[in-house]
Amino acid sequence: MDLREIHGFLSLTIILYVGFVALWLLYKYLRDQPLEGNFWGVIWTGEILLGVQTLLGIVQLIQGRVPREMIHLLYGFLVPMIWPATFSFTREQADKRKIMIWFLVTAFLFGISLRAYGTAKP
């Protein structure tokens, strides 16, 4: 398995992971449940996956592998910054509002991850 295949497999993993996190957040919002420690562990795990994915992309770029569409590079650099920015923004928010913001941002991250996958080389 070469680096490009690992990058592709990890991107599919991230899409599924972020999708499940978005659904979990919607569930928490509808059930009026707070964000607890296990949620932050899930976010950290996802952020590590996103960071590894970005590093793999940078290595491929250094090796001369350019994505089919250059917007893929923007997605690659934007995606790992979304959850930390959300954390910073929602620190002082009330729980119900915080959960909705996290859900909307995570749904957006899901869409961006899908789009990034679609702009990579086949």
Following DSSP, what letter does each residue of 64-86 receive, concatenated? T---SSTHHHHHHHHHHHHHHHH
- pTM here is 0.92
Our count of domains for the chain comes to 1
Range picked from 12-21, 58-67, 86-95 for highest mean pLDDT: 12-21
The parent domain of residue 38 ranges over 3-118
Give the span between the Cα atoms of 22 and 29, in whole angstroms: 11
Neighbours of 77 (CB within 10 A): 11
Q: What is the mean pLDDT of residues 78-84?
A: 94
What mean pLDDT is predicted for residues 59-73?
A: 89
Query: Which of the four pLDDT bands, split at 50, 70 and 90, describes residue 122?
Result: low
Task: Give the residue-averaged pLDDT of 88-110.
Answer: 93
